[in-house]
Amino acid sequence: MSGFHWADTRGADGAPLQMTLRGRLAGHLPALLPELRRDLSLSFDRRFESLTEVKGLRQGALFPTILDAVARYNALALFGEEFCRLYDVPEDPGLVRYGVHMIEHTLLIAEVLRMLPAFSRDLIGKFMSARLNSGTVMTEALLQIVTKRFEERELHRAGQDTPEHHDCIQWIMDHSPRHKPWTAMRVVHELIAVWFGSVHIASTTACAALFDLCDHPEYVPVLRQEIETTGWKAFDKAGGQIFPLMDSFLEGNQSARKVLKPFQFSDGTEARAGQWICSAPKAMNRNPDTWAKANEFYGFRFAKPEILEQALSSHETLVSPSSHEEKF
């Protein structure tokens, strides 16, 4: 990413980002979610109308649709309404599209460099970054916006009236260290890092979940009933945290963590400091020592039994949860 220098140290300047995401953004979700849902509904409608109709059915690629939707609502939450309205108009795909390309280009460049010998990576990396410059475009555009916010902050301190913003740009600025103030570029780097992780992970997870629903359509009525019974008003008020069956269906994503100090597992396997350790959810979830009928797909395996029993009482097409509960 353009000019980005990642501190390969646990907890390096991480407090501002944690306070922004876990505190300010989480607290703002009840007000933000209704607007996001309206915006996404319009986006899906436009996308659906643009699909090619074949034998009375509209057909199109799923992942680009999901990626565009995830990028739009992340842009609204991270960069604010002003960013989305000014830089995303029908005649110009705008910075949201550049932001999506930035993620794709970063992954492409990283994969190429991973396969090259070490002595050539710097030269090839700079060449590819210059040709695939979406990251530079995104960085420069965000830098202009953040610089303007810095100017507004100085005017506010001088007693002048300035606009009030409720987005991650402003919250990261508010929580940046006072003893060593961050520059505008430092704030931009934080925003780009959050953008990369949130858009990439959310889009791939949502797409995988939809493919699972296509393979197992018997889950659709149960999940739809949970949404309709709960209602969007209660969902918004809870900040999006009251769909336990949906959470169970989405659970099980792969995670990776870097080893901080030498460690030995119970089977004798050793992990050295600096190595990356990945959990293997597919193998773990198919372990017959832990799960009954471990080789069968069951999307509600991680839901609480009492919630699941109530939800399945009117749906006989799904297997009883008792046959899939944990053995231990």
Q: Indicate the DSSP class of residue 93.
A: -
In a domain, 34, yes or no: yes
**Based on the domain organization, do 267 and 187 belong to the same domain?**
no
In a domain, 207, yes or no: yes
pLDDT in tens, 252-274: 444 455 677 888 888 888 888 87
Tell me the mean pLDDT in the region 198-214: 86
**Based on the domain organization, do 58 and 133 belong to the same domain?**
yes
- Decide if pLDDT at 51 tops 80: yes
- Judge contact between 137 and 1, C-beta under 8 A: no
Q: Indicate the DSSP class of residue 183.
A: P
**Based on the domain organization, do 209 and 304 belong to the same domain?**
no
Of 36-45, 167-176, 308-317, the range with the lowest mean pLDDT is 308-317
In a domain, 318, yes or no: yes
Distance CA 326, CA 269 (A): 26
pLDDT of res. 92? 46
- Judge contact between 98 and 137, C-beta under 8 A: yes
**Based on the domain organization, do 31 and 121 belong to the same domain?**
yes
Of 41-50, 136-145, 309-318, the range with the lowest mean pLDDT is 309-318
Give the DSSP H/E element, type plus range, for residue 189.
helix 184-215
Tell me the mean pLDDT in the region 214-221: 87
In a domain, 124, yes or no: yes
User: Among 158, 187, 215, which residue terminates a domain?
Assistant: 215
pLDDT of res. 84? 64
Distance CA 189, CA 317 (A): 49
| Total number of domains in the chain | 2
**Based on the domain organization, do 203 and 287 belong to the same domain?**
no
> What does pLDDT average to over the chain?
80
**Based on the domain organization, do 51 and 137 belong to the same domain?**
yes
- Of residues 52 and 298, more confidence is placed in 52
pLDDT in tens, 269-327: 888 887 877 766 667 777 788 776 677 777 787 788 888 888 877 666 555 444 444 44
**Based on the domain organization, do 268 and 188 belong to the same domain?**
no
Distance CA 300, CA 213 (A): 12
Tell me the mean pLDDT in the region 234-241: 79
- Decide if pLDDT at 4 tops 70: no
pLDDT of res. 83? 65
Using CA atoms in the order 281, 284, 285, 288, what is the torsion angle rounded to 10 degrees? 170
Q: How confident is the model at residue 151 (pLDDT cuts 50, 70, 90)?
A: very high
**Based on the domain organization, do 185 and 88 belong to the same domain?**
yes
**Based on the domain organization, do 270 and 177 belong to the same domain?**
no
- Report the percent of the chain where pLDDT is more than 90: 10
pLDDT of res. 69? 85
**Based on the domain organization, do 173 and 56 belong to the same domain?**
yes
**Based on the domain organization, do 136 and 42 belong to the same domain?**
yes
- Of residues 326 and 185, more confidence is placed in 185
In a domain, 199, yes or no: yes
Q: Which domain holds residue 156?
A: 15-215
In a domain, 182, yes or no: yes
* CATH code of residue 84: 1.10.630.10
Q: How confident is the model at residue 13 (pLDDT cuts 50, 70, 90)?
A: low
In a domain, 284, yes or no: yes
- Decide if pLDDT at 243 tops 80: yes
**Based on the domain organization, do 77 and 137 belong to the same domain?**
yes
Distance CA 240, CA 24 (A): 15
3-class state of residue 91 by DSSP = coil
pLDDT of res. 319? 52
In a domain, 255, yes or no: no
pLDDT of res. 150? 94
pLDDT in tens, 76-116: 888 877 666 654 444 445 677 888 888 889 889 988 998 99
